[in-house]
Structure 1
Amino acid sequence: MVIERSAQASNRTGLSNKQLWHGEDGGLIACWERGKELAREQPNLAERARKGELVVLPWKGGVEAAIKGRKYGSHRYLAMWQGLRGDDLHIHPDSEVEMSCPVHKAKVIFVNDVDLLDTLPD
């Protein structure tokens, strides 16, 4: 299953926390919607993300400085980052996504298993 939403879609309203975070999408749509809101609140941050920078966000996955090797991040970060950039939401929850931050030259592997993130290096 792929979690998808068009960048032109309006943010949902009136949903409970259970619906937002524990539905079939696992909170990815809520993260993406928050990224869209964040783009309006912090246009400079959105511009950096549009240039490919893996900016620091509330979820694991952002990069503040150069690192050796790789780090792991959450699909929730990836969803928020896509919203921040104004991209369509498009995430395969069962797959890993590997990206590199052009500013800090760091490689980040995004995974869906939040419990696994606690056991992996930042």
Structure 2
Amino acid sequence: MPHHVQRTIDSPLRTGLSRTQLWEAADKGLIKCWEIGRQRAERFPELTQRCLAGELPVLGWKGGVSRSLKKNEKYGSLKYLAQWQGLRGEDLDIDLAQERSLMCSRTKMKVTFTPDRTKYFNQVAELEA
């Protein structure tokens, strides 16, 4: 099983794949999340600009922040990171065996994207203010 999932930004979006191929293959759905990010970038240029400015906006996966919390760090999903890279127009580049931390430029929250679901699954859900 590959530990590193990579695709270049000029790769065509995949079509005709089954749900199993999209979400349960060796890439763990990261390519699909990245492709969704690329598609959303075309439809939501303001969201793209926020991501390019280093923000970690709330998306469909755990990892985004809408405000600072008492604890200035949290965990997020690698799927969030993949979608965020797609929104930014970046190549997909995620190591399935390592954590990666980013600081949200707007909230100054540190988010560590991890392959370990237990770290973010049991976190208190962030509520929109």
Which stretches in structure 2 are left out of the alignment for 5+ residues?
none
Which stretches in structure 1 are left out of the alignment for 5+ residues?
none
Task: State the partner residue of 2:22.
Answer: 20
| CA deviation string 1:46-93 (max 9, x = no partner) | 011011100110000001001233111000000000000000000001
Secondary structure at the aligned position of 1:45 is classed as helix
Task: State the partner residue of 1:75.
Answer: 78
| Residue 58 (structure 1) aligned with residue 60 (structure 2) | yes
Work out the CA distance in 2 between the residues paired with 1:103 and 1:59: 19
Work out the CA distance in 2 between the residues paired with 1:112 and 1:33: 19
Letter in structure 1 aligned against 2:121? D
**Which residue, out of 92, 97, 111, partners 1:108?**
111
Given that 1:79 and 1:91 are in contact with CA atoms closer than 8 Å, whether structure 2 keeps it comes out as yes
Work out the CA distance in 2 between the residues paired with 1:66 and 1:6: 33
What is the deviation of 1:118?
A: 1.5
- What is the aligned-residue RMSD (CA, Å)? 1.2
**Which residue, out of 41, 47, 50, partners 1:48?**
50
Work out the CA distance in 2 between the residues paired with 1:50 and 1:115: 29
How many pairs are equivalent? 122
The percentage of counterpart residues that share the same residue type is: 45
Task: State the partner residue of 2:99.
Answer: 96
Task: State the partner residue of 1:7.
Answer: 9
Work out the CA distance in 2 between the residues paired with 1:121 and 1:3: 29
Report the TM-score, using the length of structure 2 for normalisation.
0.90
Work out the CA distance in 1 between the residues paired with 2:100 and 2:119: 15
